[in-house]
Structure 1
Amino acid sequence: MSEKEQIHTAAPLPANSSAAQSHSPQSPVSSNDDIERPSAKPEEDQPPNGGYGWVCVACCFWINGSTWGINSTYAVFLAYYLSHNYFPNTSALAYAFIGGLSISMAMLVAPLATKCTSTFGTKVTLHVGIFFETLSLIGASFATEKYQLILAQGACFGLGMGFLFVGSVGIIPQWFTTKRSIANAVAAAGSGCGGLIWSLSTQAMIDNLGLPWAFRILGILSFTINLICSNILRDRNAQVGARNKSLDWSLMKRPEFWLVQAWSWFSMLGYVTVLFSLPSYARQIGLSAQQGSIIGAIFNLGQMLGRPCIGLASDRFGRINLAAFLTALCGVFCLVFWIPAELVGSPMGLLTFFSVVGGALAGTFWTTIAPVGAEVVGIRDLGSALSWTWLIMVPPVTCAEAIALEIRRFEAVDFVYVNAQVFCAVSYIAGGLVMWVLRGWKIGEVEEMERLKDREERQRAQQSSALKMQHADEKGRTYNPGGAEGAMLAREVSAISARKKAWNLRDLLRRMMKVQIV
């Protein structure tokens, strides 16, 4: 998801990051409320936009590093499993399933973790996650059978990662307003930083201390880091009136929502494949285990450097624009730089370049899913939309690496991984094309909303003129048809109308080619 990365909202997830990392929905105060009850929202309820919030950013950074970052090191474990017969009679398919299972369990447990946060509070949720993650790593160190490894490093680790991610991902938006994008981006970069650190150290621990002690040291260190951060972290749930939304079935009736889900599927098929396959691919083409772990670490370095840049650029150039372009570009880079790596005289150099640039692009989904979701369904329904997204993502994150390993050319001497590489590239390009269609819809929605707004203003001006003439003898009287509730209902009706009219296929292709920030 490795990434947690990057999903971000206080609702069920998988929470970033991007977001993958995201914005916590807050109910706006209508202008009528401000007039009638000027003191209804005390000044101290406004986000401080910094202060202790930066401490919370640091805590989320290291929690991401000690969850999604450690999960990224499964690429190192996978390369070791495939080259050693440590668990006899265990197939490559079974090993691939473990890495996907940890991410899918984190997604699947999101609703339960959200309910735990609502009922028992943030700290309890984080401590539950610490318990399961520590248990998984220590338990994996004593595993002697493949089913024990699947339960420990797969299912149990995913449970811990899910509780920690859901419990922490919605806190940062509560502390920031204008600096929210950079704060979320910095926290999301923690997964890349953690992956960089843990990938290098895990390979060194395996080489010098053996597999069991590598697991135990990871368990002890992650327990310490997560425990410190979870007790320093502070939420502002009471101040902002945060609420956890349940799954909203009405979203399933919206075609644009399904385009977002298609994007998530294609992105995860590509992301999990490249994340877990790079180190084992490096060993396949003749590089050492140490070089393979370095390639995996550099890939995480690319994520660490790329995610903040993507988060900031999306606000300037458009969230959907950037998500579509960078998702497709990642697929192109897989074709141009990853596949030819074993043809060049220095494959390590080309793989290093691909790991930096590809790593920056590969996690685009995690960085942009929350802001893209807000653009598509609105901030009020973002929590429920992300909840659906995490659940719908379970199949691709579970099966992506298994598919990649099964379609390898086992009988070949060269280009053993070429089918997996093409599969990864095509998945990313397909995701970019889906987002380009969504971009056309969004431009149409914006155009329709502007048209409806102009018509509404003309009608309001006509009504106002007529009523002023009718009540000219009543001093001080103003007319507000329907009041605040009527105005809100009218806006909702207009939004629904614009959403549906934006699917006019006659104009969709024209809008897809239009230059506009969305």
Structure 2
Amino acid sequence: MSNPSPHTKAHRQSIALKDKYPSSPPSTDLDTGDNSDKDPNPIATESDPDVLHPEDTTTISPAPDGGPRAWLVAAAAAFTFFCTLGYTNAFGVFEQYYLTSPFSPLHSSSAHSALSSSKIAWIGSLQTFLTFFTGFFAGPLFDRYGAVATVRPGALIFVFAIMMTSLCKQYWQLMLAQGVLGGVAMGLLMFPAMAAVAQWFDKKRAAALGLAVSGSSVGGVVVPIALGRMLNGGSAGGGHLGFGWSVRIIGFMMLPLLVFASLAIKPRLPPRTTDFIVVKALKQKDFVMLVFAIFFLFLGMLTPLFFIPTYAVYRGVDATLASYLLAIVNAASTFGRIIPGVLADRVGKLNMLAVGGVASGISILCFNKAVSTAGLIVYSIFYGFSSGMIISGASAALTVCPRDPRDLGSYIGMGMALGAIAVLIGPPINGKLIDVYGGYLELSIFSGVMCLVGGLVVIATKIMTPQGIFGRV
């Protein structure tokens, strides 16, 4: 038999390449999947900016959905979340220590008598807000320049911020070091890590993101226990090491993890060269609705993380044991991020986020009903699991919006940043409710209702999709 001609070989290779890299944009979870009436060779125009040019698609290979390199990125992302959100989840320990301990760096300040739950909460709320809001720029930066412009400088700045926090003696110093500098650094770390995982996984994306974000739960177990023990343990309640060295040890513990993350996190796809801010995202109804949902979810969800230690002390629990409640919340949150993440790939990412929002709203409405030590422990387990569904579910839900996978970092960063405006105002509002009413009932009602509203907005987003309210979206 004669060998096929070069023309025949080229024709077969062209067919194989077309099958592997179809010229039409990849369908997302919000698409119907019916492409029978679509142009098989769409061309991007100014009136249809979401469609990929056929030449661009040949550079995008399918996500491996596994393998050593992909899971290495997921592990590095988990280390990143261990350091960032794990540190943020420990702010309840800082809140309780700043307000009640005579060894607090603020105790000798002349303004200490004017400190309140609301004023201290501004440090944590600003830190958390800037963490998420920085994603508005960190996501597009990663899409364009990779980890060199985001993860590596973020790791350096974050360790520096922790060391500066350990030296603070005034309220404004803590606001700058712990609130501003720490928040911006964590944003430069978190969102590129999520975008990298989303690039390496497709069918297993929610599970991989859940595994990565679960690192924050492990950090939320280790950091509050270690910090609470170092700050509140020892003779006379002063801690074995004092505030400065307690915080510095946390920084030294995170240093090797961040070095590993800086080396391991890399993008899989070629850089995006279009506009820095993906303006087209703000024109997508599904994306805008998800932003509103995340806003209401974040407005209510963080309340127990900020106030459960002070609430426990209010109910007569020992300060050291009160800090352990945060560890219990985050331990339960580990399962709430991994298990629903695996299920989300099967039943739908929006479905799991809606369930997490409603479940968290119900649990927060019951916050004031946990009055004993045993009741607080059981409550922490239930709340931790339900809130974990929101943390991992929000980022996974945002990945269904972009039509070009090279925009994943921008969509995740922008969505979280806009929704996290609630983080800036939520804790201070709750702190003000405590100061005005002297209890926690009003706080639990406000925060619980906000989470329920967020869950309902996610359901409304599902109704707008072609699959409808009962679809797997």
Match 1:427 to one of 450, 457, 460: 450
- Residue of structure 1 in register with 2:245 after alignment: 213
Match 2:126 to one of 101, 126, 133: 101
C-alpha distance after superposition, 1:291-313 (max 9, x if no partner): 11111011111111110111111
Relative distance call for 1:29 and 1:351 in structure 2 (3 A) is: same
Aligned partners of 2:207 and 2:456: how far apart in 1? Answer: 28
- Residue of structure 1 in register with 2:362 after alignment: 332
Match 1:164 to one of 174, 186, 189: 189
1:56 and 2:88 equivalent? no
**Map 1:9-48 → 2, pairs under 5 A:** 29-30=22-23, 47=64
- Given that residues 143 and 272 in structure 2 are in contact (C-alpha distance below 8 angstroms), is that contact kept between their aligned partners in structure 1? no
1:311 and 2:346 equivalent? no
Aligned partners of 1:387 and 1:68: how far apart in 2? Answer: 15
Match 2:94 to one of 77, 101, 124: 77
- Given that residues 136 and 410 in structure 2 are in contact (C-alpha distance below 8 angstroms), is that contact kept between their aligned partners in structure 1? no
- Given that residues 210 and 392 in structure 2 are in contact (C-alpha distance below 8 angstroms), is that contact kept between their aligned partners in structure 1? yes
TM-fit CA distance, 1:45: 7.3
- Given that residues 409 and 419 in structure 1 are in contact (C-alpha distance below 8 angstroms), is that contact kept between their aligned partners in structure 2? no
Match 1:67 to one of 84, 95, 117: 84
- Given that residues 139 and 191 in structure 2 are in contact (C-alpha distance below 8 angstroms), is that contact kept between their aligned partners in structure 1? yes
Aligned partners of 2:383 and 2:164: how far apart in 1? Answer: 33
C-alpha distance after superposition, 1:97-153 (max 9, x if no partner): 111111211223224434554565414522211121111111111111110000001
Match 2:412 to one of 364, 373, 386: 386
- Residue of structure 1 in register with 2:11 after alignment: none
In structure 2, give the amino acid aligned to 1:406: K
- Given that residues 195 and 297 in structure 1 are in contact (C-alpha distance below 8 angstroms), is that contact kept between their aligned partners in structure 2? yes
C-alpha distance after superposition, 1:64-120 (max 9, x if no partner): 101110111111111111213531323332210111111211223224434554565
Match 1:281 to one of 287, 294, 311: 311
- Residue of structure 2 in register with 1:482 after alignment: none
**Map 1:73-222 → 2, pairs under 5 A:** 73-84=90-101, 86=104, 87=106, 88=109, 89=111, 90-114=115-139, 116-117=141-142, 120-206=145-231, 207-222=239-254
1:360 and 2:315 equivalent? no
Aligned partners of 2:304 and 2:185: how far apart in 1? Answer: 24
Relative distance call for 1:383 and 1:289 in structure 2 (3 A) is: same
- Given that residues 209 and 396 in structure 2 are in contact (C-alpha distance below 8 angstroms), is that contact kept between their aligned partners in structure 1? no
C-alpha distance after superposition, 1:224-261 (max 9, x if no partner): 221133224443234xx666864344444555443322
In structure 1, give the amino acid aligned to 2:201: F
- Given that residues 50 and 176 in structure 1 are in contact (C-alpha distance below 8 angstroms), is that contact kept between their aligned partners in structure 2? no
- Given that residues 117 and 435 in structure 2 are in contact (C-alpha distance below 8 angstroms), is that contact kept between their aligned partners in structure 1? no
Aligned partners of 1:384 and 1:112: how far apart in 2? Answer: 8
Larger Rg: 1
- Given that residues 324 and 436 in structure 1 are in contact (C-alpha distance below 8 angstroms), is that contact kept between their aligned partners in structure 2? yes
Aligned partners of 1:383 and 1:115: how far apart in 2? Answer: 6
Match 2:460 to one of 423, 426, 437: 437
- Residue of structure 1 in register with 2:472 after alignment: 517
Relative distance call for 1:335 and 1:399 in structure 2 (3 A) is: same
Aligned partners of 2:409 and 2:258: how far apart in 1? Answer: 25
TM-score, normalised by the number of residues in structure 2: 0.79
TM-fit CA distance, 1:217: 0.8
- Residue of structure 2 in register with 1:400 after alignment: 426
Aligned CA RMSD, in angstroms, stands at 2.9
- Given that residues 195 and 409 in structure 2 are in contact (C-alpha distance below 8 angstroms), is that contact kept between their aligned partners in structure 1? no
Relative distance call for 1:265 and 1:176 in structure 2 (3 A) is: closer
Aligned partners of 1:339 and 1:378: how far apart in 2? Answer: 44
Aligned partners of 1:117 and 1:319: how far apart in 2? Answer: 24
- Given that residues 135 and 187 in structure 2 are in contact (C-alpha distance below 8 angstroms), is that contact kept between their aligned partners in structure 1? yes
Aligned partners of 1:146 and 1:319: how far apart in 2? Answer: 41
Relative distance call for 1:252 and 1:53 in structure 2 (3 A) is: closer
TM-fit CA distance, 1:407: 0.5
Identity %: 24
Relative distance call for 1:212 and 1:406 in structure 2 (3 A) is: same
In structure 2, give the amino acid aligned to 1:270: G
TM-fit CA distance, 1:186: 1.1
TM-fit CA distance, 1:384: 4.5
TM-score, normalised by the number of residues in structure 1: 0.72
Match 2:267 to one of 235, 239, 247: 235
Where in structure 1 are there 5+ consecutive unaligned residues?
1-26, 447-510
- Given that residues 327 and 429 in structure 1 are in contact (C-alpha distance below 8 angstroms), is that contact kept between their aligned partners in structure 2? yes
TM-fit CA distance, 1:371: 3.7
C-alpha distance after superposition, 1:386-424 (max 9, x if no partner): 343233234311121111110016565xxx111111111
- Residue of structure 2 in register with 1:496 after alignment: none
Aligned partners of 1:244 and 1:158: how far apart in 2? Answer: 28
Greater CA drift, 73-82 or 91-100:
91-100
- Given that residues 271 and 363 in structure 1 are in contact (C-alpha distance below 8 angstroms), is that contact kept between their aligned partners in structure 2? no
TM-fit CA distance, 1:275: 1.3
**Map 1:483-502 → 2, pairs under 5 A:** none
SS at match of 1:170: helix
TM-fit CA distance, 1:358: 1.0
- Given that residues 104 and 393 in structure 1 are in contact (C-alpha distance below 8 angstroms), is that contact kept between their aligned partners in structure 2? no
- Given that residues 113 and 166 in structure 1 are in contact (C-alpha distance below 8 angstroms), is that contact kept between their aligned partners in structure 2? yes
- Given that residues 49 and 177 in structure 1 are in contact (C-alpha distance below 8 angstroms), is that contact kept between their aligned partners in structure 2? no
- Residue of structure 2 in register with 1:341 after alignment: 370
SS at match of 2:68: coil
Aligned partners of 1:198 and 1:130: how far apart in 2? Answer: 17
TM-fit CA distance, 1:46: 5.8
TM-fit CA distance, 1:54: 1.9
Q: Aligned residue pairs: how many?
A: 410
Aligned partners of 2:61 and 2:292: how far apart in 1? Answer: 41
- Residue of structure 2 in register with 1:470 after alignment: none
Aligned partners of 1:418 and 1:292: how far apart in 2? Answer: 19
TM-fit CA distance, 1:262: 1.9
**Map 1:439-478 → 2, pairs under 5 A:** 439-442=462-465, 445-446=466-467
